[in-house]
Structure 1
Amino acid sequence: MSNLKITELDPADGDLVSGAFEVLRAAHAADAPEAPAPHKGKFQLGLIHPQPDEDQTLFLAERDGTVVGVADVGMPNRENLHFGWASITVHPDHRRQGVGTALMERFIEHARAQGRTTLTVDTRITWEDGVERSEAGKRFAEKHGFKAALTWINRRCAVDALDPDTEQELLEKAQAAAGDAYEIISWVGRTPEHLVDTMARIDSTILAEVPLGELELEPETIDAELKNAKADRNEAMGVIPVQTIAVDKATGEAVANTAVFAYDDPEYTDAFQGITIVNPEHRGHRLGTLLKILNLRLVRENFPAVKTIWTDNADVNAPMIGINVVLGYEILDAGAEFQRKFDA
């Protein structure tokens, strides 16, 4: 333990960035090889182009000049100033040697110094008949006083999971249910300027609408400036949104939205389903199914290398899970957010 040092990563230090990525790569190969591999380009560019609404710090554990562990730490900087999260990863060859504990202690110290009173760490867990996962992450969180607060289920779907006739039939039924009250608009890349305000309003409802388990998070207020700053970051990182929305013709407001995020990398075969949200007053018209199928077709058209789309939903989000099962999503495993509260 004595020769272990914890430092903050400088994104300009190429050797340390590579060392940190190697920890993530090795842990992925050991712990969840069936899940999407970490992407080095996105990792490096994400460090140089930080989130506009979150302060991110990477703490590294080094031993004898080698990076053996990483704590990726985030602190919201607009709302939820009571909150901080970390994802702690230890290289498989250096586990059970106090590395994780040293990173956890540094995370807690860092968060408490900023007045954060609710902290979370996450880990993969086994779910139903999915792939069996180690219990080590869960035990580690509990040992440090964290309790399970939210479980989400990780699912994957082949882009051609449905045969074309079944997909077309589902689409036509959804179109019939939606009727002609909505204008459906799709795009690839950043949100068109004339839609930024309405999309910022729908994005601001996300945390109020998605199930959060025991986590106490207030909805974020997303304005056009923040929305555009996030789009700038995606562009800088080579992350390309593929998005489809329903606009209520009566009001001109976006009332349903789905997005898949692909990478500007012709070799990368994974893409990631973002939040699908339907305004409560517009539920029951199969808008979720309609948008997801149209958006899936857009992904296939624009990203022929993408073979699999990944999503996670809170285990209690029955409506969205129902849609995903119909579309061919299958369980891989689950993730759990463990929470610990401190006095102010």
Structure 2
Amino acid sequence: MTTVDISPLDLDRATDAELRGQYDLAVAAFAVDRPDAPKPDYDTFVGRLRAVPPGVSRQRYWVARRRDRTVGLAITQLSESENDNSVVVDVRVLPELRRQGIGTALLRRALTESPAGGRELVVGRGVTAGGDGELWIRAMGFTVVQRVALQVLTVPEADPALWEVPVPPGHRLERWTGAAPDTLVESYARARGAIHDAPTGDSSYRHPQWSVPRVRQAEHDARRRGVEHRVVVVVHEASNAVVGLTELEIFPGMPDTAVQQDTAVVPGHRGRGLGRTVKAAMMRWLLAERPEIGVVVTNVDASNDYMTYVNHQLGYVTARIMLTAETARGALEFRLGAPGGDLC
């Protein structure tokens, strides 16, 4: 096992040298784990590292160093409400130093110090299928519970004609940034619940139970984090209710990247192309107001053939398959403490 020093990392107080170390680590790791992805510039990387995903109440970091060189990082995330039984972990190690126990030591330290009392499930997400990460999580006793397709829309290479999608008769589009209009927020909250029908494999993840107060809280949280939250909905004219929606976010420090979030259509209104309609409208609106956006990324369950097809119609390309894996915390802690447990 390679001897390393592991310590917490406070990104709010991190020096430029510490952040540069994280950048160099990420560039080296991603070149192996995500060879299809373009190399991020420094400022974009730091923005992504600091970004707290929706639904995460706390995010912490631990850095591994050897002779003052950054060689590894562990991130833990504590989710809210429906997923308050899990702690999400992300571990990365320099490729040339893998299989020497660094990743395992980081995971052990992160689980020991993460304030995750009562959380009995450990979850790993975004693990590239077939890569070093998959080998490691399987060796650590994780079970793969979902396969997720990462899809990327490279705006300069896309044909804008793909986004010229008409609105079906009897419907209209509405859109907003930030807060939903009072006249639509109730039906918008109900429509957000339609995402519960989306496949999630065997994952224990549970989508939020949406209500008007919860929508308002999520909007407040996005503003607090400096996230630009855009929403396009399709309204059924006869009932004046939201029956389809799509959401997109732009995070601080990532000015040229947009993250396409949930898209949902309520039962009884499916089969009319409303998902494609709202996503196309989102692209037209986004590029009219934010022409600097060069890339839009989204995730979709690999078994969701319909949404994958819709995204391809809009210019997305599937970049890679990523895995979500889970294990019982007690079993993992036992394995981490067992002789011969240092496998990465």
What is the TM-score of this pair, normalised by structure 1? 0.81
Greater mean deviation of Cα atoms: 66-75 or 33-42: 33-42
Contact 1:161 1:327 in 2 (8 A): no
* Correspondence for 2:297 among 310, 328, 331: 310
User: Quick one: structure 1 residues 341 and 264, their matched pair in 2 at CA, closer, same or farther if it must change by over 3 Å?
Assistant: closer
1:24-43 C-alpha deviation (Å, 9 max, x unpaired): 34323443253263824524
Report the equivalent of 1:242.
230
Q: Which amino acid aligns with 1:254?
A: V
Alignment correspondent of 1:185: 174
Contact 2:148 2:322 survives alignment (8 Å):
yes
Q: Which amino acid aligns with 2:241?
A: E
Q: Which residue of 2 aligns with 1:13?
A: 13
Q: Is the 8 A contact 2:56 2:77 kept in 1?
A: no
Residues of 1 paired with 2:115 and 2:227: CA distance?
32
* Alignment pair present for 1:58 and 2:61: yes
Shift of 1:287: 0.4
Q: Which of 247, 257, 282 is the equivalent residue of 2:245? A: 257
Q: Which residue of 1 aligns with 2:34?
A: 32
Partner of 1:137: helix, strand, or coil? helix
**What amino acid does structure 1 have at the position aligned with 2:143?**
K
CA contact (8 A) 1:42 1:238 kept: no
Mapped to 1, the partners of 2:131 and 2:73 lie a distance apart of 19
Which residue identity does 1:117 align to in structure 2?
E
* Residues 96-245 of structure 1: pairs in structure 2 closer than 5 A: 96-110=99-113, 114-125=117-128, 135-159=131-155, 163=159, 167-168=163-164, 171-172=165-166, 175=167, 178-180=168-170, 182-187=171-176, 189-194=177-182, 195-206=184-195, 208-235=196-223, 237-245=225-233
Aligned residue type for 2:201: G
Residue aligning to 1:131: none
Looking at structure 2, the residues matched to 283 and 246 of structure 1 have their Cα atoms a distance apart, in angstroms, of: 12
Aligned AA for 1:42?
G
Indicate yes or no: 2:239 matched with 1:282.
no
Partner Cα separation in structure 2 for residue 70 and residue 23 of structure 1:
8
User: In 2, Cα distance between the equivalents of 1:341 and 1:296?
Assistant: 41
SS in 2 for 1:79: helix
Distance 1:2 1:334, change over 3 A: closer
Q: Which residue of 1 aligns with 2:95?
A: 92
User: 2:2 & 2:29 partners in 1: Cα distance?
Assistant: 24
Q: Distance in 1 between matches of 2:119 and 2:207?
A: 17
Q: Percent identity?
A: 23
Find the aligned partners of 2:116 and 2:250 in 1 and give their Cα distance. Answer: 36
CA contact (8 A) 1:205 1:220 kept: no
C-alpha change, 1:22 and 1:233, in structure 2 (3 Å) is farther
| Alpha-carbon spacing, 1:167–1:7, altered in 2? closer, same or farther (3 Å) | closer
- The answer to whether the 8 Å contact 2:19/2:46 transfers is no
Q: Secondary structure of 1:149's match?
A: strand
Q: Number of paired residues?
A: 325
Q: Which runs of 5+ in 2 are unaligned?
A: 332-344
Cα distance change, pair 286–51 in 1 and its aligned pair in 2 (3 A) = closer
Q: How many Å separate the matches in 2 of 1:224 and 1:151? A: 32
| Matched letter for residue 337 of structure 1 | T
State how far apart, in whole Å, the 2-side matches of 1:282 and 1:273 are. 22
- 1:293 is aligned, of 280, 283, 300, to 280
TM-score (normalised: structure 2): 0.81
